[in-house]
Amino acid sequence: MFTGLIEGVGRVAALEPRGGDVRLRIAVGSLPFADVALGESIAVSGVCLTLIEFDAGSFAADASTETLGLTTLGGMVVGQAVNLERAMRPTDRLGGHLVSGHVDGVGRVLSVHDDARAQRWRFAAPASLSKYIATKGSICVDGVSLTVNAVDVEGFDVALIPHTVSHTAFASTRVGDPVNLEIDLVARYVERLLSAREHP
């Protein structure tokens, strides 16, 4: 589990095709990395990956064909900035919201506008996810926990404060770029409970 509070911005250092899927090497950049361990989970732009090898400044993780097809990882290029977060510990503060790192779909940046010192970002979301997005609810965009300011049939809006922009890969994200979306876990389980009641 993750919180959606980004700990560092890294970069894609290498993409190595392996038997139909890909091994990624991520340069960790500003991610705290001193006590890393093999097998732990790291969210890469919101995608939970298992660390399979590492050195002082980078780590490798395998991405399956499923992951490559359902997230933005399949379109990443060497040098691309990525948001990084290590898995939360039970003693951590939960400053964002509970994030699983299991991406529900890929959206797209529709617009970015200044809003005083903040920025108003608008994202398109797949129709299949729109029903789970609620005003003042939480959503995870490229691994970042955000509060939804407005939602309609085309997508949703969020406000990014200057700290969020400068301390995440949003600093290099542009209009038209794809983004990983993970809906709030609560919405997913509420739907499942209701459908189970309708069809016992």
Q: What is the pLDDT of residue 199?
A: 67
Neighbour count for residue 35 (Cβ, 10 Å)? 7
pLDDT digits (tens, 9 = 90+) for 90-145: 777 777 788 999 999 999 999 999 999 999 999 999 999 998 999 999 999 999 99
pLDDT digits (tens, 9 = 90+) for 71-102: 999 999 999 999 999 998 877 777 778 899 99
Q: What is the pLDDT of residue 200?
A: 62
Q: What is the pLDDT of residue 195?
A: 80
Residue 194: pLDDT above 90? no
User: 20-24, 27-31, 91-95: lowest mean pLDDT where?
Assistant: 91-95
Residue at token pair 């542009």: 174
Q: What is the pLDDT of residue 90?
A: 79
pLDDT confidence bin for 34, thresholds 50/70/90: confident
Radius of gyration of the chain (CA): 17
HSE-CB of 40 using CA atoms within 13 angstroms: 15
When pLDDT is averaged across residues 178-187 and rounded to a whole number, the result is 91
Gap between the Cα atoms of 191 and 44, Å rounded: 27
- CB of 156 closer than 8 Å to CB of 181: no
Percentage above 90 pLDDT, the chain:
80
Q: What is the pLDDT of residue 188?
A: 77
Structural domains of the chain, with CATH: 8-86 (2.40.30.20), 105-195 (2.40.30.20)
pLDDT confidence bin for 159, thresholds 50/70/90: very high
Q: What is the pLDDT of residue 176?
A: 98
